[in-house]
A = this chain, B = another copy of it.
Amino acid sequence: MPENQIPSARTRVVREADRAVYDRETVYRILDEGFICHVGFAVDGQPFVIPTSYGRKGANLYIHGSAASRMLRQMKDGVPVCIAVTLLDGLVLARSVFNHSMNYRSVVILGKATLVDDPQEKLAALRVLSEHILPGRWDDARQPNEREVRATSVLRVLIEEFSAKVRVGPPIDDAEDSLFPTWAGVLPVEMKWGPALDDPKLEPGRAVPRYVGNYSRKRA
């Protein structure tokens, strides 16, 4: 799949196919707004799902191996994974229970997770992870030393087999329910950040940095 505008049989959206999105740009926008993924992997047929943070650079998704030790122990040349990123935008209240829904944007990636071995690439990947979650922090914090880089495992997943689903807008009721006497509409939800809490050990007079005070996941 050179450009992955076309889904594979495994990533083709089967349910509610009208909500499917396969273009890389939309997928990147969703990935860049989110920063928590759920990584699935299987050991002898038993699936495991682990929540962890991630960072993206180009077509590479990086995750902390430290948050996925069960996975790492299974891994040699790369372990098949499924990575899901889900952004919730609202509850959708139709007149019928059956047509209730949610507004959301979600991405599912199938791929192989491989260990980043090279210390230089690992350090760069750690920076990608850090800047993905909190842009500006890397240069303002004490950066990892050699021992810490060694102690951290980083996994790389190439974003090449993926799909996304997006639902927006008001409820869609069956025509025969249009007069059912109840409220219908959308209850939006978003992440509300802050205000920032100083570390109790913080030296007096140190202000909250702008990249923390103005924190937002919305990307231009």
Task: Please state if A46 and B110 are interface contacts (CB–CB under 8 Å).
Answer: yes
Q: Answer whether residue A212 sits at the interface, using C-beta atoms and an 8 A cutoff.
A: yes
Task: Please state if B185 and A198 are interface contacts (CB–CB under 8 Å).
Answer: yes
Task: Please state if B91 and A133 are interface contacts (CB–CB under 8 Å).
Answer: yes
Q: Interface stretch among A24-32, A55-63, A66-74?
A: A66-74
Which residue of chain B is the closest to A86 with respect to CB atoms?
B51
Q: Which residues of B contact A157 (CB under 8 A)?
A: none
Nearest CB of chain B from residue A207's CB, rounded to whole Å? 7
Task: Please state if B36 and A40 are interface contacts (CB–CB under 8 Å).
Answer: no
Q: Answer whether residue A41 sits at the interface, using C-beta atoms and an 8 A cutoff.
A: yes
Task: Please state if A209 and B190 are interface contacts (CB–CB under 8 Å).
Answer: no
Task: Please state if B96 and A142 are interface contacts (CB–CB under 8 Å).
Answer: yes
Q: Answer whether residue A220 sits at the interface, using C-beta atoms and an 8 A cutoff.
A: no
Q: A46 contacts which of B49, B80, B148, B196 (Cβ < 8 Å)?
A: B80
Q: Which residues of B contact A106 (CB under 8 A)?
A: 51
Task: Please state if B197 and A212 are interface contacts (CB–CB under 8 Å).
Answer: no
Contacts beyond the supplied A97-B130, A171-B199, A183-B206: 5 A-B pairs with Cβ under 8 Å:
A36-B86, A38-B86, A40-B82, A48-B110, A100-B137
Q: Answer whether residue A4 sits at the interface, using C-beta atoms and an 8 A cutoff.
A: no
Q: Answer whether residue A135 sits at the interface, using C-beta atoms and an 8 A cutoff.
A: no
Nearest CB of chain B from residue A85's CB, rounded to whole Å? 9
Nearest CB of chain B from residue A166's CB, rounded to whole Å? 13
Q: Answer whether residue A81 sits at the interface, using C-beta atoms and an 8 A cutoff.
A: yes
| Cα–Cα distance between A100 and B148 once the two chains are bound (Å) | 12
Task: Please state if B84 and A51 are interface contacts (CB–CB under 8 Å).
Answer: yes
Task: Please state if B187 and A194 are interface contacts (CB–CB under 8 Å).
Answer: yes
